[in-house]
């Protein structure tokens, strides 16, 4: 159940293994097939809890996608 703390160690392990310069944050919202309603705002707030460092979030949410997709 939200906030899905059982998967946080996997997210942290992925970040340690690949670094934020090789990770991007994505969401299936609004097409998420969750058993309960999940809106974009809570998902974004959850991402901020999992990745508390603002610079690392910026890398994952902006710098890496910009580099990979040529934005």
Say what percent of the chain tops pLDDT 70.
93
Model pTM? 0.82
Residues ≥6 apart with Cβ < 8 Å to 49: 3
Tens digit of each residue's pLDDT (9 = 90 or more) over 16-41: 999 999 999 987 666 667 777 778 88
Question: Of 64, 62, 61, which is closest to residue 50 (Cα–Cα)?
Answer: 61
């Amino acid at each position: 159940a939200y906030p899905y703390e059982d998967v946080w160690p996997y997210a942290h392990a992925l970040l340690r293994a690949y670094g934020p310069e090789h990770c991007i944050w994505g969401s299936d919202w609004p097409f998420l097939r969750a058993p309960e309603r999940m809106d974009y705002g809570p998902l974004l707030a959850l991402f901020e809890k999992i990745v508390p460092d603002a610079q690392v979030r910026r890398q994952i949410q902006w710098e890496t996608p910009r580099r990979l997709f040529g934005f």
